[in-house]
Structure 1
Amino acid sequence: MDAIRRTIPYTPKAPLRQGVNSQAVVVDRTMYISGQLGVDTASGQMVPGGVQAQAKQALTNMGEILKAAGCGYENVFSSNYPARAAYQVAALPRGGLVEIEAVAVVGPITNAFGPNMHKL
């Protein structure tokens, strides 16, 4: 059996969660992006402006991580969604108001639907 390749992409253009998580892990061609907070990388602080500003910054951070792995938002499922994760925590790190995670596929994507597959 062939070994499955695991890589850890990294970019200094997105925050690194201190001591606990990698920014992302790529296993074979599937990329698991750690939850991103609305932290400004330059200052290391949460961006001001509430949940919308933090969500925008979290997505900016995620985009930089995607670039580090050689892909972009087109590699994140935007249709024919995978199973999802939804969770609640008592409080996000650093007083964050929102945290966004994603699963992406590294490389070109073609959707194929067989007789037992549901097309959304």
Structure 2
Amino acid sequence: MKEAVQTPDAAPAIGPYSQAVRFGNFVITSGQIPLTPSGELVAETIAEQTEQVIANLKAVLAAAGTDLDRVVKTTVFLADMNEFSGMNAVYEQHFSAPYPARSTVQVARLPRDVRVEIEVLAELH
């Protein structure tokens, strides 16, 4: 049975979806964008936006009962693939070997015209 995960410590859902869903031994997050828990947009560099996205992911995963060390798959959506190295520099500070599987794609547009969105699949503790 699936169970919604919600926390006030991450950006609120801005549509009809859950911040994450627990299902079996896994939690699947919705894509997190660089909004603060109060809903304000972090609109500076790709590095700053990626930091906020990862902070949101950490909070959602903690609410689900897991953490970044249990992430097995990430999907990164970038508005501009030229910002890959800036995103990746922050990303690698938060994940350790063995690294999760990852897909990174450039998209035409992201919600609120942000630069980065990341979703993850993690095993529960």
**TM-score when scaled to structure 2?**
0.72
Which residue of the partner structure matches residue 17 of structure 1?
A: 13
- 1:48 shift after superposition: 3.5
Whose helix proportion is higher, 1 or 2? 2
Aligned partner (choices 88, 91, 112) of residue 94 of structure 1: 112
Whole-angstrom CA distance in 1 between matches of 2:71 and 2:56: 14
Aligned partner (choices 41, 47, 55) of residue 42 of structure 2: 47
Counterpart AA for 2:118: I
* Superposition RMSD in Å: 1.7
Whole-angstrom CA distance in 2 between matches of 1:39 and 1:72: 20
Whole-angstrom CA distance in 2 between matches of 1:71 and 1:93: 26
Q: Percent identity?
A: 34
CA 1:21–1:89 in structure 2 vs 1: closer, same or farther (change >3 Å)?
farther
Counterpart AA for 1:94: R
Counterpart AA for 1:12: P
- 1:80 shift after superposition: 6.3
Larger-Rg structure: 1
Q: Runs of 5+ in structure 1 lacking a partner?
A: 108-120
Following TM superposition, where does structure 1 have runs of at least 4 consecutive aligned residues deviating by more than 6 angstroms? none
Which of 1 and 2 has higher RCO (CA within 8 Å, sep 6+)?
Answer: 2
**TM-score when scaled to structure 1?**
0.74
Whose strand proportion is higher, 1 or 2? 2
CA 1:31–1:94 in structure 2 vs 1: closer, same or farther (change >3 Å)?
same
